[in-house]
Structure 1
Amino acid sequence: MSTADRRPIGVFDSGIGGLTVVRALMDRLPFEDIVYFGDSARVPYGVKSVATIEDFTRQIAEFLLQREVKALIIACNTMAAVAVEVVKQVAGAVPVLDVIDAGARAAARVTRSGAIGVIATPTTVNSNAYARAIHHLHPDVRVYSQACPLFVPLVEEGWLDHPVTRLTAEEYLKSVLVEDVDTLVLGCTHYPLIKPLLQQVCGDEMTIVDSAVTTAEATARRLSELGLLNPQREMPNYHYYVTDIPLRFQSIGERFLGRSIRQLEMVRLGS
């Protein structure tokens, strides 16, 4: 039994959305300790330059590595699109996983028609990261992307099954559904919270790829392959670090997690 097995998994995001990945990890790997970092003081990342995103991402990865994590998970689509190579350089031998790679692999694997829809924030859509990742795996697959900027505020407002959210989804998905896609990738970590609503809008025949779930599955496989699964069967420890604690962080975070947040700590990064 290696002491390395007991190290926590490090998960990080530009804010709060990555908690859906943490939730999926809790469900898939219930005995693993997890350290989460949300850069809540500097969110959103989407409006920042590539150099700034890379710098902030490096700071977070180094912070988590100092806490002796056994794996790093980039639970932010913007970070994954821009700075995954930076994280891998910093991480060295520590395995690095990200939501875009996991989501792209799952979508390429399950599509039957070869037509995949991707819904995400404007920044992620403009980066073309999902299309590149899917085409790298299957060059013949057709990818149709749609930016859905209103979904994040609607989810954070808690309007998960609200008529306004349903009408917004119907409007956004028109351009994707007309292409006869059979697979839809949720390319933002906020979107899993409205997955039931999206399934209703798309219909039961649509396969929805939840990148939070696929990232948890990919993590479980990687840790198993490397012999890093935690052997203990005690209650796991979850620790959350943020760079700011807005008034609504606790309530929104617990909605994302589906459970209470206990060990929450504010830290400063950079100058």
Structure 2
Amino acid sequence: MPEGHVLHRLARLHQRRYGGQPVRVGSPQGRFSEGAAAVDGRVLRRADAWGKHLFHHYEPGLVVHVHLGIYGAFSEFGLDGDGPPDPVGQVRMRMLGTDYGTDLRGPMVCEVIDEGGVAGVLDRLGPDPLRADADPEAARTRVGRSRRSIGSLLMDQSVFAGVGNIYRSEVLFRHGIDPARPGTSIDAAEFDAIWADLVALMKIGQRRGQIVVVRPEDDHGAPSYRAGRPRTYVYRRAGEACRICGSPVLTTELEGRNLFWCPSCQS
């Protein structure tokens, strides 16, 4: 599932491509026909993101809300005198601006809501490290009062919006924190360090379009878990040697997702 930096990159891109102009919106697949008709031809006032949620705000007060889920993705194309290309596959939503178009396939959520509906979505989310208006105090309070593991809390979107499996595993490694520790055991200095690191790392991801978590001095040795991806410390490296101490990286399933950690560096 895409992590929060992906949605923020999309929001910035869509603001540049379509913001301030009328946008043609359709649903070649047909599953979003009613919603597309409601915003078709309206001016896109702004595109923004909170956590893993993308919002297209149209005049007058209509909002397309997208959550990509596991399979959702946007693909972009340029427009020329020949018009847009024929849709390929199950295109839930197609947007056409002046110079560019984009197709959305396979989202978990694609719906039209109003500003009240947006507020309802945001009420369910914790602070987003990528937002300038983020206030980590709510997350600090939730963590400090919870007996749930910090590994679980970091993936809870009502606590930390936008943090996914990679950032979860990697930020805990970077700070030597056992993912099984309860939230009540995370002191103020540890929380502040985790939050500050998430802000910094996710900003790098937003800027570069890749999750970069390994410090330059550690960026050597065994290749990444996938060609073309930056190295990670522990994510998807189960059984391999830790880049710092050489101990085998461990993995377990936590609330339906695979968690990775080093038992020595995160003791």
TM-score by length of 1: 0.24
The structure with the greater share of residues assigned to helix is 1
Higher strand share: 2
More relative contact order in 1 or in 2 (CA 8 Å, sep 6+)? 1
